[in-house]
Amino acid sequence: MRITDEQRRHRLAVQHRVGLPCAGRPRVKDVVESVLVLHATDPATVYLSVLARAPGLTRDDVRTAMYERRDLVRVLAMRRTLFVAGRDDVPVIHAGASLGVARRLRTRLLKELATLPTDPVVPDPPAWLADVEREVDAVLRSAAATGSTLTGAQISAAVPALRTALLPTTDKAWDVRRTVTSQTLALLSAEGRIVRTEPRGSWTSRHHAWAPIESWFPDGIPEVPEAEARTRLARRWLEVFGPATRDDLQWWTGWNKTQTRDALAGLDLLEVTLEAGPGVMLPDTDLSDIVRHAAVTPGAALLPALDPTPMGWKHRDWYLGEHRERLFDRMGNIGPTVWWDGRVVGGWTVRPDGAVVHRLLEDVGDDAARAVSAEAERLQGLLDGTGITPSFPTPLDKELRT
């Protein structure tokens, strides 16, 4: 079966709710699960990714889903990246991706403690880490018993060993004294022992607090065998991002070639021909999305930096066109993008005063330009004067901020 780029864009628009009318007032959980996960490196992305796809929802709806109903969970997973996922998907993501990340983090931390100078000296890194883990668990459980969460600074005040510092060994600007607090807490989160909760400050704050995982999963994250989890995660990804190439899946998950091959071997797949090359999709993929889209007037969408849609594939030309250089930073992180009819046509940003400004990078016609402007005005109203500073500014983002 041959599938064109245009057909893939039509499916993307429907499957990812990009620029199409949204019937009723969907649950935040449903919006998140429709794109599998939301990138959460920039906290604002979580909110903006939902609001772009469900105009009837508000920032309060997103906050309630995350921190009151706890339908969503922050996880350190694919490519050692922070995501927000629906509770139902967490066990598979945890076993299929997070545990592999955790092993690498543990190996790295123990190696650094053993080979780098530290203050104070750590004579037995494994024993030191085991003690720290027990103390962190005890401190967080004690706080949770009173309904409290703790920031990294509060945890390290209660567990002084977390303030152990790795000392520089060169005169390089990046080689500085750094405590192991963040590394250790990231490790424990990847192992599924603790979880990031509501940050201190505003909804755009990166200063998350921490709680025991039992605050979200009373019996801990349900266990799934890792090989089975990778196959199930590959299926979920194909449900959302297929048809696609095997390289796309390997890049998105951060697996190696063997893990990717074995995960796909457990699925019944349909081989397809894409304009980018050989691809795969699930036999039950609903290609009627293409037909439904053809009957709907194209719409505009403003997706935030690191939104899961533009970050869903390794090969992006079929929806990105010629705009890569302006919209990505040098590390491969995409900035805010303007979409029309299932493809990227420009970029946008939020200035410090909360003004949403955009620029079209190609001629999309007067109707599309008006629709983009209307979407920018809607988004600006939802921000209510809040400025957003991206973690990874792109060339176009920098231009629009001046």
How do residues 193-233 score in pLDDT, each as one tens digit? 999 999 998 899 989 999 999 999 999 999 999 999 999 99
**269-324: pLDDT as tens digits:** 999 999 989 999 999 887 776 655 555 567 899 999 999 999 999 999 999 999 99
Separation of alpha carbons 19 and 41, rounded Å = 24
**Residues 200/151, Cβ–Cβ less than 8 Å:** yes
Nearest CA among 33, 25, 36, 34 for reference residue 58: 25
Residue 338 lies in a domain: no
Q: Look at residue 35 and tell me whether its pLDDT is greater than 70.
A: yes
Which of 133-142, 264-273, 378-387 is predicted with the least confidence, judged by mean pLDDT?
378-387
**Residue 15 within a domain:** yes
CB burial of residue 26 (10 Å; 0-12, 13-18, 19+): middle
- What pLDDT does residue 294 have? 57
Q: Which long-range contacts does 203-208 make (Cβ < 8 Å, 24+ apart)?
A: 203/43, 203/44, 203/47, 203/59, 203/63, 203/386, 204/42, 204/43, 204/44, 204/386, 204/388, 205/43, 206/42, 206/43, 207/151, 208/74, 208/151
Residue 297 lies in a domain: no
Tell me whether residue 249 is in a domain: yes
- Its pTM stands at 0.94
How far is 61 from 375, CA to CA, in rounded Å?
Answer: 19
pLDDT of residue 297: 67
The pLDDT value given to residue 299: 87
Cis bond before residue 243 (omega within 30° of 0): yes
Q: Which amino acid is residue 86, in one-letter code?
A: G
**CA-based nearest residue to 86, from 46, 140, 144:** 46
Are 113 and 122 in contact, with CB atoms under 8 Å apart? Answer: yes
Looking at the domain assignment, is residue 54 inside a domain? yes
Assess if residue 147 is contained within a domain: yes
Please give the average per-residue pLDDT across 257-274, as a whole number. 97
Question: Which pLDDT score, from 0 to 100, does residue 270 have?
Answer: 95
Q: What is the mean pLDDT of residues 167-196?
A: 95
pLDDT digits over 120-152, tens only?
Answer: 999 999 999 999 999 999 999 999 999 999 999
Please report, to the nearest 10 degrees, the dihedral formed by the alpha carbons of residues 36, 87, 230, 137 taken in order. 130
pLDDT in tens, 48-95: 999 999 988 999 999 999 999 999 999 999 999 999 999 999 999 999
> From residue 292, how far is each of 10, 13, 237, 256, 307 by CA, in Å?
9, 10, 22, 36, 24
* Residue 306 placed within a domain: no
Share of the chain above pLDDT 90, in %: 86
Structural domain total, the chain? 1
Please say if the pLDDT value at position 19 is more than 80: yes
Virtual torsion, Cα 326, 331, 333, 335, nearest 10 deg: -40
State how far Cα 251 lies from the chain centre.
14
Please check the confidence at residue 343 and state whether its pLDDT lies above 90: yes
Q: Give the count of beta carbons closer than 10 Å to the beta carbon of residue 234.
A: 30
Distances (CA, A) of 309 to 16, 52, 80, 336: 7, 12, 18, 11
Give, for 9, the enclosing helix (H) or strand (E): helix 5-15
Strands 270-274 and 2-3: parallel
Which domain does 43 fall in, by range?
1-288
Contact 344/313 with Cβ under 8 angstroms? Answer: no
**Is 79 inside a domain boundary?**
yes
